[in-house]
Structure 1
Amino acid sequence: MSGTSLDGLDLCVAEFTREGNRWTFSILSSDTVEYSTEWKEKLKLAHTLEEGELQNLDKELSAYIGQKVRFHLQTNHITDAELVGSHGHTVFHEPQKGITLQIGNRPEVREEAGLPVICDFRKADVELGGQGAPLVPVGDALLFNEYDVCLNLGGFANLSVEENGLRTAWDICPMNIGLNHFAHKLGLDYDKGGHIAASNPMDGRVWHALNQLPYYSADPPKSLGREWFEKEIVPKCDRLTPEESLATLSGHAAVQIAKTLQDIGARKVLCTGGGAYNKHIMSLIRQSISGELVIPDNSIVDYKEALLFAFLGLLKHLGEINVLASVTGARQDHSSGVIFK
Structure 2
Amino acid sequence: MNDKPLYIGLMTGTSLDATDAVLVRFDERPQLLAHVSLPYPQPLRDKLMALNRAPQLALSEFAELSRTLGEQLAAAANALLANQSLHPDRVSAIGSHGQTIFHAPEAGMSLQIGHPAIIAKRTGIPTVADFRVDDMALGGEGAPLAPAFHQTLLSETDCAAGCALINIGGIANISLFRPGQPVLGWDTGPGNGLMDELCQQHFQKPYDADGQLAASTSPDPDLLAHFLQDPYFAGPAPKSTGRDAFHTQWVAERLNTYSRPAPSPLTLLSTLNQLTVQSLSNALKQENGGAWPKKMYVMGGGSRNATLMQRLQKAAGDGTEIGTSEQLGVPPEAVEATMMAWLARERLAQRPIALASVTGAQRNAVLGGVWLP
Q: For the superposition of Structure 1 and Structure 2, which TM-score range results when normalised by the shorter chain?
A: over 0.9
TM-score by length of 2: 0.85
Find the partner of 1:58 among 56, 61, 66.
66
Match of 1:67 in 2: 75
SS of the aligned residue for 2:144 comes to coil
Is 1:236–2:254 an aligned residue pair?
A: yes
Structure 1 CA distance for aligned equivalents of residues 139 and 115 of structure 2:
21
Structure 2 CA distance for aligned equivalents of residues 234 and 327 of structure 1:
32
User: In 2, are the aligned partners of 1:153 and 1:272 still within 8 Å (CA)?
Assistant: yes
User: In 1, are the aligned partners of 2:171 and 2:189 still within 8 Å (CA)?
Assistant: yes
User: In 2, are the aligned partners of 1:125 and 1:336 still within 8 Å (CA)?
Assistant: yes
CA separation of 1:221 and 1:74: change in aligned 2, threshold 3 A: same
Pairing of 1:196-215 with structure 2 (within 5 A): 196-215=213-232
Unaligned runs of at least 5 residues, structure 1: 18-22
Match of 2:125 in 1: 115
Find the partner of 1:280 among 302, 307, 314.
307
Range that drifts further, 254-263 or 128-137:
254-263
Structure 1 CA distance for aligned equivalents of residues 134 and 252 of structure 2:
30
Pairing of 1:57-206 with structure 2 (within 5 A): 57-79=65-87, 80-145=90-155, 146-147=158-159, 148-163=163-178, 164-186=180-202, 187-206=204-223
Residues 178-234 of structure 1, C-alpha deviations (whole Å, 9 max, x = no match): 111111112211011111111123233221112232222211100112232146444
Residues 213-262 of structure 1, C-alpha deviations (whole Å, 9 max, x = no match): 22222111001122321464442247443322211111111122233344
Match of 1:260 in 2: 283
TM-score by length of 1: 0.93
User: In 2, are the aligned partners of 1:86 and 1:105 still within 8 Å (CA)?
Assistant: no
SS of the aligned residue for 2:225 comes to helix
Pairing of 1:242-321 with structure 2 (within 5 A): 242-263=265-286, 264=288, 265-289=292-316, 290-297=319-326, 299-321=330-352
CA shift at 1:323, angstroms? 4.7
Structure 2 CA distance for aligned equivalents of residues 52 and 159 of structure 1:
36
SS of the aligned residue for 2:246 comes to helix
Match of 1:217 in 2: 234
SS of the aligned residue for 1:55 comes to helix
Match of 1:20 in 2: none
Unaligned runs of at least 5 residues, structure 2: 1-10, 257-261
SS of the aligned residue for 1:228 comes to coil
CA shift at 1:125, angstroms? 1.7
Structure 1 CA distance for aligned equivalents of residues 349 and 169 of structure 2:
29
Structure 2 CA distance for aligned equivalents of residues 237 and 14 of structure 1:
44
Is 1:325–2:333 an aligned residue pair?
A: no
CA separation of 1:109 and 1:178: change in aligned 2, threshold 3 A: same
User: In 2, are the aligned partners of 1:14 and 1:28 still within 8 Å (CA)?
Assistant: yes
Match of 2:15 in 1: 5
User: In 2, are the aligned partners of 1:185 and 1:242 still within 8 Å (CA)?
Assistant: no
CA shift at 1:68, angstroms? 2.0
Structure 2 CA distance for aligned equivalents of residues 71 and 204 of structure 1:
46
Structure 2 CA distance for aligned equivalents of residues 246 and 139 of structure 1:
32
Is 1:39–2:49 an aligned residue pair?
A: no
Range that drifts further, 120-129 or 138-147:
138-147
User: In 2, are the aligned partners of 1:130 and 1:329 still within 8 Å (CA)?
Assistant: yes
- Number of residue pairs matched by the alignment: 336
